[in-house]
Structure 1
Amino acid sequence: MHSTGEAGWSVMGTGTIATEHMVAAIRAAGHRPLWAVSRNRQYAAHFSQDMEIPGISVDARRTLQDPRVGFAYVSAARDRRRHYIQAAAAEGRHVLCDGPIAASSRIAATLAETCRNAGIVLALNQPFRALSPHQTMRRLLQEGEIGTLQSLLIARGAPFQPPPNRHPDEETDHGDALFEMSVDSIDLARFLTGQEPAAVSALPAVPPGNGAGQQAYAIEMSGGAIFQSYESFTTAEFDSIVMLAGDRGTLLAHGTLSGKGSGALVRRLNGRNELIPIRDRDQHVTTVEAFIALPQKPAGWMSVGEDNVMALRTAEAVRAAQQKRPASIRTR
């Protein structure tokens, strides 16, 4: 494995606005984006110019063989992430990747094993884990502030909008939008509770004309808590809800899943609501700094390859449960 003392990065994928935030975060952490990589050379050139990244390439391996490069950030389209992760593993470079890392848990498991065998870190850019309200919820739960956890609720809804993208010719797959949303929700549930999914039940997903609809499912967690999720592209936008309910109190985060700010966190104890002050941090810088330190200082809150495998596997179980016909209730 190559030394990772170098502070240079190869940025693989040039599409989303989120990539621009991560480039800024890499610089804020004292590192240098050195290469912009895309299979479309023109895209790489435009991104390099906009982000002031000196090198451009359509060959990922070439950039990873640069001795100044110690890290790779992968934000390419989902079907290209495997190629870039495998290239980074072959060159011994630690990888930070947007999630999910693959379209299926089977492929994700193979990628996680490849990186493990190569002795490199495969970590995910999961903004929900990096948000201060969610990290505070997790800490307060672990400290026993609300007693024994009984239930976790996640609810979010808004009309479907493709994620912001630098390239308008790249279409979003509406059919996968709910699936990826459930992957994120399941990963957040595992992070907040420290429990693993054990059993799944679900209502059939309801797709409108554009193929992206709404879904509701419940998961029994390994520690006995019940995780319930509602995710929709059919409603008017409402403040997202993340609720941890214990036998002594409740923690409730509002507006943390919209991507428009860190939201607010409320603790309810003894019939009273208390607004919990949150130190607002840039989630992108927080993620990059934690990732850089991972080889020497494990960060328990970060999502790694194996976490994404479990989230994908559970989302696949949700999708399978949605295919089963629910029992109807006769009203007469």
Structure 2
Amino acid sequence: MKQLIIFISLFCAFGISSFAQNTKFGKPTKEEWELNSVSFAPNAEAVVLYKSVDVSYKLQSGFNALGSGGEGSLDDNQFAPSGTNKDINPENTSMLYKVNVRIKILKDSGAAYSAMDIISFNDDEDFDCRDEFYEMNITLFRQVNGKVKKKRLSAANIKDERIDNHYCIRHIRIPDVKAGDILEYQYQLTSTRSTYIYDTQLQESIPVLYSKCKMEIPNILQFNVNRPIIPNVTASVALGSIIMASTNNDYKLAKKVVSNVYTIEARNLPAYAGEINLQNLSSGEVHCVRTQLKDKRYDVKPDVSGPVRHLVIGR
């Protein structure tokens, strides 16, 4: 099984300082088209040019939380003193994952890295706690006689498969991929499981030039956020705010809820040499960002804590 690792690579024609990160999707840059090898991984078959995972929360009026230090209601901005709440009404909170990935195929043998699998929560009994996909857009870019041709992936190449009673996996397969092609994957996923955040895998089975995980989490939810302690991974945290609107047409003013904004960025991550699995991800052997709620949860079934991997590239 080929698995992709997202990291920042250098290439022969350009130094890392001259390779600017292209955050705009839909138009690969000249530098990306000219990249044909990775200096620290000259035999790489493919490379992740850019990956970002942005996690945000949406709160609505009436969202109440019972914390370990007492009851706290976001309606009156009384936060649980020790942070973690024990009970959340999923009808009044949701999460949004915005995922953007751009990879380049360096050799024809690297075409398998165009495949992508996305794990999502899809309980066969609880319809209110199912993840939902929105705005999925997968595009192949190819240079033909100096001109850029692009083709959007058809729905026929996207298949959903149930893997157990709680999880599904979405298989994305792009046909006719060749060396030199640039592939872009964009999608959004909503979740009502507010106390469970999918881990963001920074490292893959191919080099990664740049990978970013940004999470804005309401202050009332206290997570342990773990990231690799290595020179090419940086992290920062800042205070933010989330606007909480009323669910009723009562003309109440929107309220701000204090949030913690975590930003973790990885550059020049080498490919992981072995097969990536749940064990070496959980142990930290494979570089990733892991989040875990500080207090035990009672609104999540014990048998559906879930796979730590949300996005798998290159199966």
**TM-score band w.r.t. shorter chain:** under 0.3
| Higher relative contact order, structure no. (Cα contacts within 8 Å, ≥ 6 residues apart) | 2
Output the TM-score relative to the length of structure 2: 0.27
- Structure with greater helix share of residues: 1
- Structure with greater strand share of residues: 2
Output the TM-score relative to the length of structure 1: 0.26
